[in-house]
Structure 1
Amino acid sequence: MIQTIASVGLPIDETLMINKNRLIPQSGLNGNEKRISIVTGTHGDELEGQYVCFELQRRIKENYSSLKGIVDVYPALNPLGIDSITRGIPAFDLDMNRIFPGSENGSMPEYIASKIIGDLSGSDVVIDIHASNIFLKEIPQVRINELSRDVLVPYAKLINVDYIWIHSSATVLESTLAYSLNSIGTPTLVVEMGVGMRITKNYGDQLVDGIFTLMKELGIWSGETVTPKTPIISEDGEVSFINAGSSGVFLPSVEHWKNVKKGDCIGKILNPLTGEVNETIFSQTDGIVFTLREYPIVSEGSLIARILA
């Protein structure tokens, strides 16, 4: 059942609408059902969640009798951004994930943000799906504020990701959707995976498998599910950041989600004008490369990789 949770008039007789699709059991609702909400499209250049929304609903409809609770799917919180391939909200030059919880009496983006929060509030679990940007590739992971770890880690272990990264509270922006929902008691997991402006099907399938496992644990799904992967769990101090020391074209020497040793070559920054190597980048620690530069043009300071020690 398609529902509009926010609607705002735009110029030229157009209307901005934020829609969700609600799937409920065939027998109807009795008022005691658990509810899971799948949210994506906050950033218009992050498309990995679009496939997840499609595939999740496709599988439910194949075996609808196994649905025992409510599944709300919000594929496009920023439809203008998706339509224009823009990370933020077009015309406002604004990152939507920096305006929550919003205000009904505020600007158009703030009004929409408040409606989204109001509609998601009360979900038993929210999964907020992001991709990386166009520059980096991320392994499927959940990122959690340490203030919410006791509530969220048990859920995160069920959704079949490779990695759970627990951030210190100082690094978490309070204006994000996830922080706003967690602060009012609606458990919200932030999933990061893949690359901006791309769909990585195997990552999407992996996450959908995990969502069904979580749904079964919540009593929302009675069908078959996978045994989820056992994720690596770490905190900020266990993550090493590698940044470019010069500008040029980055050519990696390692593979994503592979082990490296201290001193291994991560890659080289090439100078196409002179035919020289501007910089050879080495790992400063033993670990696994869970973030790797995807877009080859780099400037001094550009993030090249993150390594989980």
Structure 2
Amino acid sequence: MIENIVEIKLAADEVLTIKRNSLCSVNPETEKRVAIVTGIHGDELEGQYICYELVKRITANMQHLKGRVDIYPAINPLGIESACREIPTSALDMNRVFSAPDPASISEKVAAAVVADIKGASVCVDIHASNIFIREIPQVRILPRDSDYLMRYAKMLNTDLVWVHESGAVGGGSLAEALINEGVPTLAVEMGVGGRISVLYCEQVLHGIFNLMNNLGVWAEPEHGISHPMISSDGEVHVVHASDAGVFIPHVEHNMWLSKGSEIGEIVTPITGTVVQKITAPESGVIFSLREYPIVSEGSTIARMLSMGSM
């Protein structure tokens, strides 16, 4: 059942609408409810495919649904429509307004209504993509203080990595922080690259969501072939930066194992035909973030590696 959880009048007789699709079992065997949220950032589109496939697969196999699944595909619909990461009317990051104590602006009122609607869920999965600059392998991001609380759920999501660190995706003002404060275990999933849909990554996370629902008793059909993710912390991650401006040419693939000193790529200057920096792996490990947008400045992030010594 599709319902509007937010309706706010805008200029020129327009209405800002946030929709929820609630899929409920005909013969429920549990009161547990799973919330799937995406579209907080308008340029993160991986979640659109996941929501489409979730609705399609659940409605085609309703006999397996034993609880309730609430799907929120577009928390920032204006951003999605205009291909804008932020809220177009205010240029605010939507994932920084979910904890406003006294909601006053339109974005704060929308955020408060979303939190109130999800409150009481058994678990929430908040689906993000990277920006246009960096491609990420499927990963769950967790604050160190929430690691013990969330790790068992995170391991069910079939991602390649659980990154425990002070991430902005789950930090101050985020949906994850607001829902965790309300007692809802919330997992921020990040994958792919901004403005694109990586179907293989989406399918991987889809299997994980069905596995999570199965473990909660919301979905009866078990998932097979669920992988165990690498577990990381800030101390095990090595970030590789550009020391010069230019064009980054990668020599490796994403999610690839490298030995210490192996070449990741090089930064070149087109007008002179010269290489200004050869970029090498600082330690042996797996590249889980890799530069997607080739133009770099001094200090730009080129890659993140998980040290193999931590595994």
Question: TM-score, with normalisation over the residues of structure 1?
Answer: 0.96
Which residue of structure 2 lines up, in the alignment, with residue 48 of structure 1?
46
Match of 1:201 among 185, 199, 202: 199
* 3-state DSSP of counterpart to 1:12: helix
Residues 1:38 and 1:172: Cα distance change in structure 2 (over 3 Å): closer
Deviation at residue 174 of structure 1 after TM alignment: 1.5
Q: Is the Cα contact below 8 Å between 2:141 and 2:169 reproduced in 1?
A: no
* 3-state DSSP of counterpart to 1:51: helix
Deviation at residue 159 of structure 1 after TM alignment: 1.1
* 3-state DSSP of counterpart to 1:6: strand
Amino acid at match of 1:234: S
Which residue of structure 1 lines up, in the alignment, with residue 226 of structure 2?
228
Which residue of structure 2 lines up, in the alignment, with residue 159 of structure 1?
157
Which residue of structure 2 lines up, in the alignment, with residue 21 of structure 1?
21
Which residue of structure 2 lines up, in the alignment, with residue 298 of structure 1?
296
Indicate the larger mover: 121-130 or 170-179: 170-179
Counterpart check, 1:189 vs 2:187 = yes
CA distance in 2, matches of 1:26, 1:170: 39
Which residue of structure 1 lines up, in the alignment, with residue 114 of structure 2?
116
Q: Is the Cα contact below 8 Å between 2:103 and 2:112 reproduced in 1?
A: no
Counterpart check, 1:77 vs 2:75 = yes
Deviation at residue 184 of structure 1 after TM alignment: 2.0
CA distance in 2, matches of 1:105, 1:200: 35
Which residue of structure 2 lines up, in the alignment, with residue 262 of structure 1?
260
RMSD after superposition: 1.6
CA distance in 2, matches of 1:201, 1:171: 22
Deviation at residue 228 of structure 1 after TM alignment: 1.4
Residues 1:261 and 1:274: Cα distance change in structure 2 (over 3 Å): same
CA distance in 2, matches of 1:238, 1:244: 20
Q: Is the Cα contact below 8 Å between 1:166 and 1:236 reproduced in 2?
A: yes
Residues 1:136 and 1:20: Cα distance change in structure 2 (over 3 Å): same
CA distance in 2, matches of 1:169, 1:10: 33
CA distance in 1, matches of 2:168, 2:219: 37
Counterpart check, 1:9 vs 2:32 = no
CA distance in 2, matches of 1:19, 1:176: 20
Deviation at residue 104 of structure 1 after TM alignment: 5.9
Deviation at residue 103 of structure 1 after TM alignment: 5.2
Amino acid at match of 1:197: G
Q: Is the Cα contact below 8 Å between 1:48 and 1:131 reproduced in 2?
A: yes
Residues 1:139 and 1:241: Cα distance change in structure 2 (over 3 Å): same
CA distance in 2, matches of 1:282, 1:291: 14
Which residue of structure 2 lines up, in the alignment, with residue 101 of structure 1?
99
Which residue of structure 2 lines up, in the alignment, with residue 277 of structure 1?
275
Amino acid at match of 1:26: V
Residues 1:171 and 1:191: Cα distance change in structure 2 (over 3 Å): closer
Which residue of structure 2 lines up, in the alignment, with residue 239 of structure 1?
237
Deviation at residue 45 of structure 1 after TM alignment: 0.4
Q: How many residues align?
A: 307
CA distance in 1, matches of 2:103, 2:51: 31
Match of 2:133 among 107, 120, 135: 135
CA distance in 1, matches of 2:135, 2:296: 15
Indicate the larger mover: 162-171 or 82-91: 162-171
CA distance in 1, matches of 2:237, 2:217: 35
Q: Is the Cα contact below 8 Å between 1:292 and 1:305 reproduced in 2?
A: yes
User: Unmatched 5+ residue regions in structure 2?
Assistant: none
Q: Is the Cα contact below 8 Å between 1:210 and 1:226 reproduced in 2?
A: no
User: Unmatched 5+ residue regions in structure 1?
Assistant: none
Identity %: 50
* 3-state DSSP of counterpart to 2:107: helix
Amino acid at match of 2:19: N
